[in-house]
Structure formats: C-alpha cells, structure tokens
Amino acid sequence: MSMLWIAVIAASVLSFGQKWLGYQAPPDALDRPRISRTTTLLPIALLGALVATQTATSGTEIVLDARLAALGVAVALLLARAPFLVVVIGAAAAAAVLRALGWA
C-alpha cells in the first residue's frame, strides 16, 4: 500500500475521531454556566470567521474579489428579509455576473 493511501485512510479516520471527540464531553460539564455561555456564543464567532474567510481569503492571502460584492448583495437581500435560497442564489448570481463581465 502506498504512502498516499495510508495518509488518505489515516487522515480520514482521524477526521472522524475529531468529530466524535466533541460529543464525549460529560453533560454536566457542558451545563456549567460559563461553559454553556461559551458554547452558545461559539457558533456566532465561528460563523463570523467563516463568512470572513470564505469571502476574503484565498489560501493564506487576503483577496478582495467578486465574492465581496456578492456578500454585499447578500446583506441587502437579508435586510429586505429575503428567504435563504434567494439570498444564496442572489449572491452566487452576482459573483458569476461580475466574473463573466471580467470586473472582479
């Protein structure tokens, strides 16, 4: 078996282990006020970070391109209380049009 196959399988098993591990925390530990406050806030911080990295990074670089304009479209649609699908498709269409026109 090649080194690449070993790495594919080992990294895949490790990935499952990482996912599994989070669920093994004892429930009463998660109930402690400071821990439960933190786990309530974590999705907000993680989503904020994911929006930023998905919009403005490429590898280890900051890249401002059509994605940023598309995110602006998404904000406008969210402010107008558009449904989830409209927001997502609207942003994708904005980025696709900008790229097709060669503007970003």
Length of the chain counted residue by residue: 104
If one asks whether residue 40 binds another protein (CB under 8 A), the answer comes out as yes
Determine the Cα–Cα distance for residues 30 and 9; give it in Å rounded to an integer.
32
If one asks whether residue 100 binds another protein (CB under 8 A), the answer comes out as yes
Binding mask 56-75 for another protein (x = CB under 8 A): xx-xxxx---xx--xx-xxx
Determine the Cα–Cα distance for residues 101 and 103; give it in Å rounded to an integer.
5
Q: How far apart are CB 80 and another protein at their closest, in Å?
A: 10
If one asks whether residue 81 binds another protein (CB under 8 A), the answer comes out as yes
If one asks whether residue 22 binds another protein (CB under 8 A), the answer comes out as yes
Q: State the number of binding residues for another protein (CB under 8 A).
A: 76
The partner residues of 45 in beta bridges, in order of sequence, read none
| Beta carbons of 42 and 22 less than 8 angstroms apart | no
If one asks whether residue 52 binds another protein (CB under 8 A), the answer comes out as yes
Q: How far apart are CB 101 and another protein at their closest, in Å?
A: 12
Query: What are the start-end ranges of the H helices in 1-104?
Result: 3-22, 27-31, 33-56, 66-79, 84-100
If one asks whether residue 34 binds another protein (CB under 8 A), the answer comes out as yes
